Amino acid sequence: MQRYQLYIDGAFCDGSGQFPSIDPSTAQPWAMMPEAKEDDVNRAVAAAKRAFDTPDWAGMTATARGKLLMRLADLLAENAQKLAQIETRDTGKIIRETSAQIAYVADYYRYYAGLADKIEGAHLPIDKPDMEVWLRREPIGVVAAVVPWNSQLFLSAVKLGPALAAGCTVVLKASEEGPAPLLEFARIFDQAGFPKGVLNVITGFGATCGAPLTSHPDVAHVAFTGGPDTARHIVRGSAENLASVSLELGGKSPFIVFEDADLDSAANAQVAGIFAATGQSCVAGSRLVVQNSIKEAFLERLKAKAEAIVIGQPDNMATEVGPLCSARQRNHATDLIARSCDAGARVITGGTAPSGNGFYFKPTIIDCSDAPDAPCLTEEFFGPVLSVVGFDTEEDAVRIANDTAFGLASGVFTRDLTRAHRMIRRIQAGIVWVNTYRAVSPIAPFGGHGLSGHGREGGLQAALDYTTVKTVWLRV
């Protein structure tokens, strides 16, 4: 069985323990993962702290940092196939998606490579003739980056890219579920030529690895992606080190379809918007809010498309939906559907796990129009479940769309651009996609508010968030 190691201070090493990683398509262990506990966390943070201060890194020009990031991007592109295969094996995410995602992961590193020497300070025109005053932008310090199991290469790229471009050093904690892609990424990072300790990659469990890392006194900033409950632990832990914290959390994103929309395009976007990544995506368009005049016709299209989806082995290029990442996720799906049906919701298609091995769950559409309290409308669920609510007026659509504690993403499908503008103004979410869904670019910031967290990843601002401003006064 394959064995992975932690990556600390430029070397690969064992952790305090080990745990098996399960192949979600067979429910069998396939590799042994190193388990980092407090001692390993301390070693990793110490290495990052040393690296932050060494001339090799602290004295490196921003242009040189950018070149290293560019080299990393090239290495990722060269190793794309291997990384995609490992992510597919360890998390069950289908090979079509892991292969496509690596390409834009490399693009994120390229974007931040180019940005490294464009992080500028400023000169201030102070009203004192004998003073020069300026602002230096300096790296914030040691960053703790913590990611969940889905899309770990992408979710770490949006943290590492800007953090390294800004000159920070990082301890990256992979999820305990499917950590292999990041441990494999460490091997590639090691070849890029960064000084030792600039990046340290560890994995382990939340309480024994994540908590000591995020509350560590030498951590200056915590960049977290995960669930709201974990975020609360992290924010409480930050009372210890007073680190700044950015939070990218979950969503219950509305996908709003008006009767004048291009229904073919909307149906395709909705199917991809909820069933891609087997629904394990923070921006999944998991609440269809559809105008009642077209609801039945639209649901018929969706049902036909959902039932035509090829469910299969994640490493097969023909597969369109693979297994969920863990038994926990599959059991949660079964439980959520049962509780929602008890509340009056009606399953239109799916709703069960197919027979056989692996953590599979059928693409599911569930109509909650007569069940406003159905838990599938409010609870974030990371799986292939689309909840449906009908509406009559634009006002209703806004009310239903905003009836959530989350505020991450949203979609609006209409041919009426005036209406689209009204919806853009009124929807409470960090992203509004109009007549498209799930489009991403390194240039466009990404994030939410409410239970979806705060802070933005992607774009120029994300790099500035890894800096601190030093005000300099010089008497001349």
The residues that touch ligand NAD, with contacts defined as CB under 6 A, are 146-150, 155, 173, 175-176, 205-207, 210-211, 214, 225-227, 230, 233-234, 248-251, 282, 380, 382, 408
Distance of closest approach, residue 410 Cβ to ligand NAD, in angstroms? 14
Helix-strand-coil percent breakdown of the chain, rounded to 5? 45, 20, 35
Distance of closest approach, residue 473 Cβ to ligand NAD, in angstroms? 39
Distance of closest approach, residue 111 Cβ to ligand NAD, in angstroms? 17
Helix, coil or strand: residue 391: strand
Answer for the pair 334, 306: CB distance below 8 angstroms, yes or no.
no
CA gap 62, 67 in Å, rounded: 9
Residues 6+ apart with CB under 8 A from 435: 261, 262, 265, 412, 413, 414, 420
Residue 201 to residues 3, 13, 191, 204, 212: CA-CA distances in angstroms? 15, 11, 14, 11, 15
Closest CB to ligand NAD among residues 148, 350: 148
| Structure letter (DSSP) for residue 210 | I
Paired with 19 in beta bridges are 33
Distance of closest approach, residue 16 Cβ to ligand NAD, in angstroms? 15
CB atoms under 10 Å from CB of 63, counted, come to: 10
Distance of closest approach, residue 91 Cβ to ligand NAD, in angstroms? 11
Helix, coil or strand: residue 305: helix
Closest CB to ligand NAD among residues 224, 298: 224
Does residue 248 have an active-site annotation?
A: yes
Closest CB to ligand NAD among residues 147, 400: 147
Closest CB to ligand NAD among residues 73, 234: 234
Closest CB to ligand NAD among residues 167, 323: 323
Q: Which of 148, 145, 35 is nearest to 93 (CA)?
A: 148
Closest CB to ligand NAD among residues 66, 442: 442
What are residue 449's phi and psi, to 5 degrees?
-140, -175
DSSP letters spanning 48-86? HHHHHHSHHHHTS-HHHHHHHHHHHHHHHHHTHHHHHHH
In angstroms and rounded to an integer, the radius of gyration of the C-alpha atoms of the chain is 23
DSSP letters spanning 130-199? TEEEEEEEEE--EEEEE--STTHHHHHHHHHHHHHHHT-EEEEEEPSSS-HHHHHHHHHHHHTTPPTTSE
Q: Which of 269, 400, 379, 281 is nearest to 332 (CA)?
A: 379
Residue owning tokens 């301390």: 42
Distance of closest approach, residue 251 Cβ to ligand NAD, in angstroms? 6
Which residue of the set 87, 248, 320, 457 is catalytic?
A: 248
Closest CB to ligand NAD among residues 23, 35: 35
Distance of closest approach, residue 238 Cβ to ligand NAD, in angstroms? 10
Enumerate the active-site residues: 248
